[in-house]
A and B are shown apart, each in its own frame.
Chain A
Amino acid sequence: MVRNITLGQFIPGHSVIHRLDARTKILLLIAYIVFIFCAANYISLLMMTAVSLAVVLATKIKFRLYLKSLKVILLVVLLTGILNIFNGSGRILWELGLIKITEGGINNAIFVTVRIAVLVLISSVLTFTTSPSDLTDALEKILKPLSIFHIKVHEIAMMMTIALRFIPVLLEETDKIMNAQKARGADLESGNIFYRIKALIPILIPLFVSAFRRANDLATAMECRCYNGGVNRTRMKVLCFSGLDLFGLIFSMIIFVGVIVSNLCIPAVVR
């Protein structure tokens, strides 16, 4: 069922992480992703993992929900992990014909698995703790400098807001249309690739028609509420940096310095 996807879902709350400014969260997320991939030895990897888990705990959101978003990409993680075991150099631990497991391979596997898992976890932290409108607002602010290149930042942010709002609606609609066509005997589960693509037409056409109808309605509704692009627009929720953000930034800086120092002092186990 498409509706059970938790990735990208906002879970309201009052935790420290919820209260951070959305801009801080986006920037820190990017920095964390960079550093989790920079961590080249077990000490720095452990440091990044521990900090990420601490952040996850600080959100006060049930860990089960994080596990659900991990489950979505579980297969990818396991597959890349396993592939990496057999693809490495260094001391050979086990060998059978052409297949060999090396120390480097095991290191690679552990690093790839942990990195992707942590990546998903901290990305989930951002989407779980930040409302969609805060998220798009923050992006609008962060990307604001681009408007000197005549990039319509407000419009892009508005499109994202609308997309986030309507993705679940359209997913549900797809479900309904699929059921309706299945009830008329549409066969979506068998046949070769060309046959299957053709079988999608009865679903795609109604879906497009419905999306256009909704877009038309939405445009009218926005006009009725005096929407006029970004001109003279104010926001109810004003993003503002607080002491909390400063603390978050300093705390993260210390961790990042730690990672850099340990990378410099301890030899890397992976490339």
Chain B
Amino acid sequence: MENFIQINDVYFQYEENGKDPSDKYVLNGINLNIDKGEFVAIVGHNGSGKSTLAKHLNSIYLPTTGDVLIDGMNTKDDNKLFAIRKKVGLVLQNPDNQIVAGVVEDDVAFGCENLGIHPREIRKRVYEALEAVDMYEYRKSSPDKLSGGQKQRIAIAGIIAMQPECIVLDEPTAMLDPQGREEVMSTIQKLNREQNITVILITHYMEEAVLADRVIVLDLGTVFFDGTPREVFAQVEPLKKRRLDVPQATELVHYLKGCGYPLPDCVLNEEECVQALLKILKR
């Protein structure tokens, strides 16, 4: 079976005037395949190329060399531009800057209106999308009166009303408080589970990456690690060396195991950590 998203040997550099083009690549030969229905987290610190990669998935950026294929369509193909953007929606970091209209439901409708969908169908989709992100009761509100987490959920609703097969979220929680972060994360998980939407989450919070099926670690524009959260976070030392975080629970168990205690290779959350520790503490 063909993969839903194929990234083949992608290199990318920003076009800058006056600078030597061979100067610096933001993406340095990326190869990745992502299947339908996956929940993938892409982590790495600022400058690792993760946001740049996200913008490659719906033709906002085009690879300098290499190809990105969405369901078999090349993002470089101009005729497929809208077909690709309909399949892959992108949610940005700053919730304020991606809301176009002054009333919640009008904003959620914006994408569908651009696609030329029938008004009655738009309304149905807008209500469904607002219900999916749990914001139906705010449909008549002005976005200015909402919290950051609520605004971000509106932005997500605006994308899912277009019924995409995949949502890419570029650090959607970076500007939110802990409560807003939780709201957005549970919304994303729900969409992935209940509507089988492929989710690609760009984040620098490891507690969020743990919730994904698969974690891809980017470093200096290359894929440094790709595996299940358990496989990735077992690599405490290599991650720390690149100054990336691991969840505190994982770190604690890892260090204790290093002292010779019989503990699992990797725990991902506090429950697993406590269960593992109780075995050695209650002997």
Q: Is there a contact between chains A and B in the complex with CB atoms less than 8 Å apart?
A: yes
Which A residues have a C-beta under 8 Å from some C-beta of B?
10, 12, 131-133, 161-162, 164-165, 168-169, 213-214, 217-218, 220-228, 232-238
Other A-B pairs beyond A165-B143, A221-B92, A224-B89, 6, CB < 8 Å: A131-B106, A220-B92, A221-B100, A226-B114, A235-B119, A236-B122
**Are B103 and A217 within 8 A (Cβ)?**
no
Q: Is there contact, CB below 8 Å, between B103 and A233?
A: no
Does more than half of chain B's interface fall in helix, strand or loop, or is it mixed?
helix
For residue B55, which residues in chain A have a CB less than 8 angstroms away from its CB? 220
Q: Is the Cβ of A132 less than 8 Å from the Cβ of B140? A: no
> Assuming A168-B144, A233-B113, A235-B119, is B162 touching A226 (CB within 8 A)?
yes
Given known A-B contacts A218-B98, A236-B113, A133 and B103 have beta carbons under 8 A apart: yes
Nearest-CB residue, chain A, relative to B168:
A224
Q: Check if B96 is an interface residue, CB within 8 A of chain A.
A: yes
Interface centre among A132, A226, A235 (most CB of B within 10 A): A226
Question: Residues of A contacting B86 with CB < 8 Å?
Answer: 226
Contacts of A132 in B (CB 8 A): 101-103, 106
Interface residues of B in 84-116 (CB under 8 A from A): 85-86, 89-90, 92, 94, 96-103, 105-106, 109-116
Tell whether, in the assembled complex, residue B60 and residue A220 are in contact, meaning their CB atoms are under 8 Å apart.
Answer: yes
Measured between alpha carbons, how far is A12 from B105 in the docked complex, in Å? 12
Given A217-B92, A221-B92, A234-B122, A165:B85 Cβ within 8 A: no
**In the assembled complex, which residues on chain A have CB atoms less than 8 Å from the CB atom of B111?**
225-226
* Alpha-carbon distance A163/B22, docked complex (angstroms): 41
Q: List 29 A-B contacts (CB under 8 A).
A: A131-B103, A133-B106, A161-B100, A161-B102, A165-B100, A165-B143, A214-B94, A214-B96, A214-B97, A217-B94, A218-B100, A220-B60, A220-B92, A221-B97, A221-B98, A221-B100, A224-B58, A224-B85, A225-B89, A225-B114, A226-B114, A226-B162, A233-B116, A234-B119, A235-B109, A235-B113, A235-B119, A237-B109, A237-B119
Question: Are A234 and B117 touching (Cβ within 8 A)?
Answer: yes
Does B224 belong to the interface (CB within 8 Å)? no
With A12-B140, A132-B103: A233-B97 Cβ-Cβ less than 8 Å: no
Listed residue (B94, B103, B140) with the most chain A CB atoms within 10 angstroms of its CB: B103
A165 touches B110 (CB 8 A): no
Q: Is the CB of A226 within 8 A of B115?
A: yes
| In contact, A10 and B60 (Cβ under 8 angstroms) | no
In the complex, A226 Cα to B115 Cα: how many Å? Answer: 7
Q: How far is the CB of A119 from chain B (nearest CB, A)?
A: 24
- Known contacts A220-B60, A234-B122, A236-B123; decide if A225 and B158 are in contact (CB<8 Å): yes
Contacts of B269 in A (CB 8 A): none
A237 and B60 form a contact (CB under 8 A): no
B99 (CB) vs chain A CBs: closest residue: A165
Q: Check: B126 CB closer than 8 A to any chain A CB.
A: yes
Q: Which residues of B contact A10 (CB under 8 A)?
A: 102-103, 142
Q: Which of B108-164 contact A (CB under 8 A)?
A: 109-119, 122-123, 126, 140-144, 155, 158-159, 162
Q: Which residues of B contact A131 (CB under 8 A)?
A: 102-103, 106
Write out, one digit per residue, whether chain B residues 176-190 have a CB within 8 A of any chain A CB (1) or not (0).
000000000000000
Min C-beta distance of B266 to chain A, whole Å: 36
B82 at the interface (CB under 8 A from A): yes
A165 to B112, CA, bound (A): 19
Nearest CB of chain A from residue B229's CB, rounded to whole Å: 28
Question: In the complex, what's the smallest C-beta–C-beta distance from B68 to chain A, in angstroms?
Answer: 15
CB A13 to nearest CB in B, in angstroms, measures 9
CA A225 to CA B107, docked complex, whole Å: 11
Shortest distance in angstroms between A19's beta carbon and chain B's nearest beta carbon?
14
Most buried by A among B85, B102, B143: B102
Given contacts A131-B106, A133-B106, A220-B92, contact A226 B82 (CB under 8 A): yes
- CB neighbours (8 Å) of B123 from chain A are 236
Chain B residues, Cβ within 8 Å of A235: 109, 113, 119, 122
